[in-house]
Structure 1
Amino acid sequence: MSLATLTHRASLPCPQVTPEQAACLLERHYGITGKLHSLGSQQDLNYRIDSTRGRFVLKICRGDYAAVELQAQHAALNSLGAHASLRVPKVIQTLAGEELLTVNVDDQTLHLRLLDYIDGQPLTQLPHLSRTVIEGFGELCGQMSLALAGFEHPGLARTLQWDPRHAQALITHLLATLPDLPQRAALEQVARQVEAHVQPLAAHLPWQAVHMDITDDNVMWQRDAQRHWRIQGVIDFGDLVHTWRIADLSVTCAALLHHADGDPFALLPAIQACHAVTPLQREELEVLWPLIVARAAVLVLSSEQQQRLDPDNVYLKKNAEHEWEIFHIATSVPFELMQAAILRSVGKPLPPVANQDFAPLLPGLVGREFALIDLGVLSPHFEAGNWETPGIDRRLLDQAATVHGLAASRYGQYRLSRTRPDSALEPETFPLHVELHLPHGTVLEAPFAGMLREGTDGLLCLHDGGLSLRLWGVRTSLKPGATLVKGQVLGEVHAPLTVQLCRADLEPPLFCTPSRALAWQALCPSPAALLGLACDAEPELDPEALLARRDASFARSQKHYYADPPRIERGWRNHLIDMQGRSYLDMLNNVAVLGHGHPRMAEVAARQWSLLNTNSRFHYAAIAEFSERLLALAPEGMDRVFLVNSGTEANDLAIRLAWAYSGGRDMLSVLEAYHGWSVAADAVSTSIADNPQALSSRPDWVHPVTAPNTYRGEFRGLDSAPDYVRSVEHNLAKIAAS
């Protein structure tokens, strides 16, 4: 099929068939009557039918589509029906035993098909999808790929506008027909970039039949009893085609960008899940992101064209906004970064840096010892929040250079100073560079041959076509565009020297977020080799291995917060900080009532521990002073102190005191409460989260009462307090009567 046919079919409006006409066709040819509901579509006309025989979907498309293509879809549906892991619609035959019907309505030649209806809902309108759902889409892509791997049909040999093999040609054609389109320059640039990245690898990509539309529109989901989303089935095989296998996953990932909250890295779980089911070739992984960007461009262009042809199509208008969102997210990051992220996410390394035979960048300092300054989360240089002081890292490097002569930061050591308290944004804490404090006038030489460039903010860049050396703090007499040989003098240091390597012609940041560190680290490797300095961060403990060690030695009932817990190693005030420098608002801790790292508490506790750490049976002044100060804060009538070691022990002692004073045993316990693990404290605990048998294992002297909850409780609203009081009085009356 020619490009002319492709562009003609891409320009077709929806068929014009009224619900009444559709109902007549349905009854005449299928013997089915029922209520019709219009379903959205870009170029086809779809109706859901609710009948006494069940639910069906009537699909109507223009006769411009060859019958053999529709027959291929039916054959695929019949073939996939045998796969237990996939649920797809069944093809319903006409009264005459046909699966495909061609009719004429108001001088329109149309194809009719009837499929059964898969209950569930698409997730198009959900702004956020959980990691589990994103993985579900990727796993489904892998399963579909496996199921269609051996499927063949003459109708698959078609030229389809959504086939990424034709993306550049289609983008060029659509741009020519839409001269007033916004973002035109960006779309033209995308076409060039896609061609440059895909063309060298195209011949190596495996082919097969692919669905080409596993999106949030075409996968049906339902929540189970635990409110988890479960896939019910896949619909709409209208884009079935024989093309590159990786095209299927690219379509799915492009659709998921609509739910990524602006972060394209949110797609990586889908890619990992698909790769786990159907291992992808390296070439497929390398072209995946360019194909995702191409899909985004084709989506917006096709949508813009269809809206001009069919201005009353509500489905098109509703989709246009999130299709432009997909395009903006897809073009918000460099191709090279996402290619690196995809490769690293499935455990594929980037090739080593080609130029390993570096000359020393600082030949006059070869063999000299540097003070490597710890600027990480556990650094002993940081205390009492001093890391929040502006410029603290550079100040520590300056101080070290004053003492030792030479000082350097570590490449890849997450910086505590760059944490962002009270921010929903992930902080950029991972350094993709090394900062060195050297004597001014120290000479730098080119570690490899290349061309010299200058940038903003004092940037000096040596570029050899595949590798860039980026420097700040260098004064040079060389002109931009000068070609240098290896070992030629570059200039001299006149400020703190910042050194960054990059394996692509990009402008990488000096710091990146932890979630992007693996990808950026692959693109911006450590400059240690050209510095002759072991300046890389020391490897951290593997968090999964550390968690496994904890689980191996802890009692199973001692849980940890979160399924994938961050490793928290520092706290300050009302925040907790993990090993990547991410700061969390502490809303869970039940011990640190004065916050974390309180300077006065740390000082007083350290002083006391240096003097004495013993129990209250010994005689020392602090016991008397502490007890007196506590009683001064207590309500009138409380004139004695019991010192205990925990909340559990305090609750246990309180129960014993109540029994001793009252002579009774019965106690009221609020439902959903937890009071401790001792025998008495556990007896009055009713939280099934801490003890699944809490309610059935209560002793008969414990009487649970309803927990006050004006939002979700038994009694609701601002005026519900008296109802909770009456429920307590009712329990007291029952106890008294017994």
Structure 2
Amino acid sequence: MLLATLIHRASLPGPQVTPQQALDLLEVHYGLGGTLQSLGSQQDLNYRLDSPQGRFVLKICRGDYATLELQAQHAALKHLGTHPELHVPRVIPAKNGADLLSLEIDGQALHVRLLDYIEGQPLTHLKHLGPELAAGFGRLCGQMDLALADFQHPGLTRTLQWDARHAHSLINHLLPVIADEQQRSLIAEVAEQAERRVQRLAEQLPVQAIHLDITDDNVVWQRDAQRHWQVQGVIDFGDLIRTWRITDLSVTCAALLHHAEGDPLCILPAVRAYHAVNPLQQAELLALWPLIVARAAVLVLSGEQQVSIDPGNQYSRDNLSHEWEIFRVATSVPFELMEAAILGAVGQSLPAIASEGFAPLLPGLVGREFALIDLGVLSPHFEAGNWEQPEIDTQLLQQAAAAHGLAASRYGQYRLSRTCPDSAVEPDTFPLHVQLQVPSGTAVEAPFAGVLHRAADGSLRLDGPQLSVRLWGVTPSVHAGAALVKGQVLGAVDGGLKVQLCRGAQLDPPLFCTPSRAVAWQALCPSPAALLGLACDAEPELDPQALLARRDASFARMQKHYYVDPPRIERGWRNHLIDMQGRSYLDMLNNVAVLGHGHPRMAAEAARQWSLLNTNSRFHYAAIAEFSERLLELAPEGFDRVFLVNSGSEANDLAIRLAWAYSGGRDMLSVLEAYHGWTVGADAVSTSIADNPQALSSRPDWVHPVTAPNTYRGEFRGQDSTPDYVRSVEHNLAKLAEQKRQLAGFICEPVYGNAGGIALPPGYLQQVYALVRAQGGVCIADEVQVGYGRMGKFFWGFEEQGVVPDIITMAKGMGNGQPLGAVITRREIAEALEAEGYFFSSAGGSPVSCRIGMAVLDVMQEEKLWENAQRVGDHFKQRLEALIDRYPLVGAVHGSGFYLGLELIRNRQTLEPATEETALLCDRLRELGIFMQPTGDYLNILKIKPPMVTTRQSVDFFVDMLAKVLDEGL
């Protein structure tokens, strides 16, 4: 009888009611009219009504459904209405006062209801659903179950195809709907495994009323002002039932899997969030994944059946692809892995393994000392990218064994050699084994009694009652299938040896796993240290949150860090930064490291000079003269004096002092939306409100901002806007002349760096420089960010404008990260400052800084980095510009070479800045392995300024990931 009921309910097609019939029904029974929009449903018929009285949902289901079940839904909605944390629809009574109408249309017995419409949208078609949203679904599910825990109604006791208690029967009945024999066998196999696991726990699972359909279809969301999704309400109580409580979370988690991009662990934030508001029992936690797998099987079978009996139901057809994706992800990992992951997510763990009774695996080496080789991210064995060499870990172990006799790796130490540059997925850096280098012929004995098996890859597996040990590099001395006693010789080492311990023979664990799966796999593949008699476990990592708290407690808070939850970066190589778990991030924003990170020439130059001397520039040594000469060779003709300082802020501050001294005045013109540094003088002429929200109101009276010459979104737009922007300069100069105030100078980035690399209007600097000089001022070119070859075609940004300034300031890439800045000018300007006293910088121009500065210039030339900036930069800009036609959010691409800006807008006419979308995009790019940050006064521009060693491959990876995120929607 039960099976027959399930089959009948699962086989019902949706009711057939035309929009006109629905409008007539609404007019007659509810006194409402308006327009209808069809809403999807698998077996019911739903219409949204837009009427003068508001929006409503008309729900029509077949008369086969018991009225008691529908009354239970109405009672639940009323019950939940008393819980302010939950928003659910109200039932709208008909003109006769009834909440439920039972009608007949065209011979069909139907039930009709009208409910409130909750504004918002479901997230079914959202391509990426991140951890915060997953947690939101889990939290909502927990709140719903908590609210329904005391809800009782006779209509809850019913037979429903989605009730997990009947999943096995339904699956067995529906299996023939799958034509493909391989698919059918897989469904049957995993469903059987799930059923066995659930049945062992069934008696321990709490039972209560649950919604049973809190999915991406039935939760309504809206974006807030920051573009974050916020829950608006829960709809569709058609599956309301009394059953195992954990079934509700299993349904929610199964729905998340079609957004998982192949990663079933995406459900863990939902599990944690549910458990935080509505704690789960251990039996429920263990039953969760088997129930998800069973749900996935029911979904594909029911979906295939529904399409076969109701081929015109587009909703069912669209959902079928999602349902198959859910099934694929749900069956992509072992049950044991997900059980361990779910327990770990809420702070629980599998039972401990008793290891006291192990016999030594290598008894002949007991008491011998092993060299434990550091293969981690900070290992001193790794330098100059040698970790990219094939089999480098094995080579290091062999070298150590040759020197010390015995060598071993550490279990659980993230391996640098397994990092994957330019990859959106986590690398599998976590070793679930120990690798040893011991003499060939070393005897290997069974650490416990078990049966020996040989795998296709030549490895051996000894299966004991509770544990298995897997061995690579052992020649067996007994045949496969042999039953061994503890301590019996099973073979001898032949070269290198790898040892892995595992809970149970049914698992086939990898040798390495990703960091996100490490906790779960560790529970299943614990350290083999006890078998080896070797303290070979990795040192525990510093808790990243605790380290961040220490930073915040001691490092002044206004010194911000990128990202709310930043990865800990301790190593870099070329144009990538590497976190402590071995993940490589493409560095697209670090214009300090022009040569890239970890350059061996920089390390060698610094080490050698430090070993000789490092002091201040008031002593006499060759490096300061040599470096100053090199800088003057790069400057335009007529520049003959160099000042060396520590940073761009100091360089700009000094440039302002030089302008004051040479001109005899103090008044400076600066450009709006610009940033020049943090010293008192450099900050005074900085007007970017992104860096300082009070920038415009806090300028001293000697700073006179001129209109930002932004040809894209400025007051005047287009390439013919030069005269309009020059008028702003003329206006300010006229005011100074009228007040008889002596102009000191004009400071400007020759390319609008802080605004994303925007080119100034043609001829702008030619006209402005002439005006400034005519009034006795000097012209300062701030090349701190945009100069030094980064633009590709031009070494200096001012070359693009065809001008020569009076003072050039620079820093950033000059030292590839070494504190180093410079001011280049003419003798008469430099010596004007002497009247006010002498100038020196204690560390500016030190021997170490000078040697590094010259080495940077050498490497840039030897490695043709200027040419690379032009060649790869041109390709980069072309690829970015191709996004403009594909995505309305992309407004413009600014800059050239390796100083580019991608401006994001919401409207092509108004150019409304897409500030919140830009922030979300940067966060999502980080998840995909890319560091990027916004810039500009509206923080809506991607400031793209990578190391000048950046390759075409990295550029293509960046643009591909950018397109992926834009496709996902922001």
Give the TM interval when normalised to the shorter protein: over 0.9
Cα drift, residue 447 of structure 1? 0.7
Q: Distance in 2 between matches of 1:463 and 1:222?
A: 53
Aligned position for 1:289? 289
Alignment of 1:474-513 (within 5 A): 474-504=474-504, 505-513=506-514
User: What's the TM-score, normalizing by structure 1?
Assistant: 0.97
Aligned position for 1:136? 136
- 1:469 and 2:466 matched: no
Residues 499-522 of structure 1: CA distance to partner in whole angstroms, max 9, x if unpaired?
A: 000113211110111111111111
Q: Distance in 1 between matches of 2:409 and 2:304?
A: 51
The aligned amino acid for 2:449 is A
Q: Distance in 2 between matches of 1:357 and 1:568?
A: 41
Aligned position for 1:264? 264
Structure 2 residue aligned with 1:736, among 733, 746, 752? 733
Residues 225-282 of structure 1: CA distance to partner in whole angstroms, max 9, x if unpaired?
A: 1211111111000011101111111111111111111111122111111111111111
Aligned position for 1:635? 636
1:363–1:709 CA distance, 2 compared to 1 (3 A) = farther
Alignment of 1:427-442 (within 5 A): 427-442=427-442
Q: Distance in 1 between matches of 2:250 and 2:82?
A: 26
1:709–1:293 CA distance, 2 compared to 1 (3 A) = farther
Aligned position for 1:705? 707
Cα drift, residue 663 of structure 1? 4.7
The aligned amino acid for 2:33 is T
Cα drift, residue 670 of structure 1? 4.1
Query: SS in structure 2 opposite 1:222?
Result: strand
Alignment of 1:139-538 (within 5 A): 139-180=139-180, 183-354=183-354, 356-504=356-504, 505-538=506-539
Aligned position for 1:610? 611
Residues 602-660 of structure 1: CA distance to partner in whole angstroms, max 9, x if unpaired?
A: 11111111111111111111111111111111111211001111111011112222333
Q: Distance in 2 between matches of 1:177 and 1:458?
A: 41
Query: SS in structure 1 opposite 2:497?
Result: strand
The aligned amino acid for 1:38 is S
Tell whether the 8 Å contact from 1:705 to 1:727 is kept in structure 2 after alignment. Answer: no
Of 268-277 and 355-364, more deviation after overlay is shown by 355-364
Tell whether the 8 Å contact from 2:209 to 2:243 is kept in structure 1 after alignment. Answer: yes
The aligned amino acid for 2:729 is L
Aligned position for 1:118? 118
Residues 330-386 of structure 1: CA distance to partner in whole angstroms, max 9, x if unpaired?
A: 111111111111111111111112554111111111111111111111111111111
The aligned amino acid for 2:201 is L
The aligned amino acid for 2:140 is L
The aligned amino acid for 1:404 is H
Query: SS in structure 1 opposite 2:531?
Result: helix
Q: Distance in 2 between matches of 1:706 and 1:338?
A: 56
Tell whether the 8 Å contact from 2:88 to 2:234 is kept in structure 1 after alignment. Answer: yes
Q: Distance in 2 between matches of 1:671 and 1:318?
A: 52
Cα drift, residue 440 of structure 1? 1.0
Q: Distance in 2 between matches of 1:477 and 1:113?
A: 75
1:257–1:707 CA distance, 2 compared to 1 (3 A) = farther
Q: Distance in 2 between matches of 1:302 and 1:709?
A: 58
1:8–1:417 CA distance, 2 compared to 1 (3 A) = same
- 1:577 and 2:574 matched: no
Q: Distance in 2 between matches of 1:258 and 1:665?
A: 64
Q: Distance in 1 between matches of 2:242 and 2:724?
A: 68
Aligned position for 1:721? 719
Q: Distance in 1 between matches of 2:398 and 2:76?
A: 69
Q: Distance in 1 between matches of 2:688 and 2:247?
A: 50
1:178–1:594 CA distance, 2 compared to 1 (3 A) = closer
Q: Percent identity?
A: 73
Q: Distance in 2 between matches of 1:131 and 1:705?
A: 43
Query: SS in structure 1 opposite 2:137?
Result: helix
Cα drift, residue 196 of structure 1? 1.8
The aligned amino acid for 1:241 is I
Residues 28-61 of structure 1: CA distance to partner in whole angstroms, max 9, x if unpaired?
A: 1111111111110000000111111111001000
1:652–1:109 CA distance, 2 compared to 1 (3 A) = same
Tell whether the 8 Å contact from 1:139 to 1:273 is kept in structure 2 after alignment. Answer: yes
Cα drift, residue 702 of structure 1? 3.3
Cα drift, residue 726 of structure 1? 4.2
Cα drift, residue 465 of structure 1? 4.1
The aligned amino acid for 2:375 is L
Of 481-490 and 678-687, more deviation after overlay is shown by 678-687
Q: Distance in 2 between matches of 1:321 and 1:416?
A: 38
The aligned amino acid for 2:730 is A
- 1:597 and 2:598 matched: yes
Residues 151-191 of structure 1: CA distance to partner in whole angstroms, max 9, x if unpaired?
A: 01001111111111111111111113444577212111121
Q: Distance in 2 between matches of 1:251 and 1:727?
A: 62
Of 405-414 and 699-708, more deviation after overlay is shown by 699-708
Runs of 5+ unmatched residues, structure 1: none
Residues 677-729 of structure 1: CA distance to partner in whole angstroms, max 9, x if unpaired?
A: 1111112223333323223322342315336374x66677xxx2333x34531
1:661–1:131 CA distance, 2 compared to 1 (3 A) = farther
Aligned position for 2:17? 17
Runs of 5+ unmatched residues, structure 2: 736-970
Q: Distance in 1 between matches of 2:160 and 2:711?
A: 57
Tell whether the 8 Å contact from 1:686 to 1:704 is kept in structure 2 after alignment. Answer: no
The aligned amino acid for 1:258 is H
Tell whether the 8 Å contact from 2:477 to 2:492 is kept in structure 1 after alignment. Answer: no
CA RMSD of aligned residues (A): 1.6
Aligned position for 2:906? none
Tell whether the 8 Å contact from 2:177 to 2:304 is kept in structure 1 after alignment. Answer: no
Residues 289-331 of structure 1: CA distance to partner in whole angstroms, max 9, x if unpaired?
A: 1111111111111111010111111111111112111111111
Query: SS in structure 2 opposite 1:689?
Result: coil
Aligned position for 1:81? 81
Query: SS in structure 1 opposite 2:566?
Result: coil
Q: Distance in 1 between matches of 2:255 and 2:590?
A: 39
Query: SS in structure 1 opposite 2:477?
Result: coil
Tell whether the 8 Å contact from 1:371 to 1:407 is kept in structure 2 after alignment. Answer: yes
Query: SS in structure 2 opposite 1:3?
Result: helix
Tell whether the 8 Å contact from 1:263 to 1:329 is kept in structure 2 after alignment. Answer: yes
1:621–1:474 CA distance, 2 compared to 1 (3 A) = same
The aligned amino acid for 1:678 is T
Query: SS in structure 2 opposite 1:648?
Result: helix
Q: Distance in 2 between matches of 1:62 and 1:535?
A: 66
Tell whether the 8 Å contact from 1:666 to 1:703 is kept in structure 2 after alignment. Answer: no
Q: Distance in 2 between matches of 1:138 and 1:210?
A: 14
Of 125-134 and 242-251, more deviation after overlay is shown by 125-134
The aligned amino acid for 1:203 is E
Q: Distance in 2 between matches of 1:343 and 1:715?
A: 60
Q: Distance in 2 between matches of 1:121 and 1:524?
A: 43
Query: SS in structure 2 opposite 1:86?
Result: coil
Query: SS in structure 1 opposite 2:720?
Result: helix
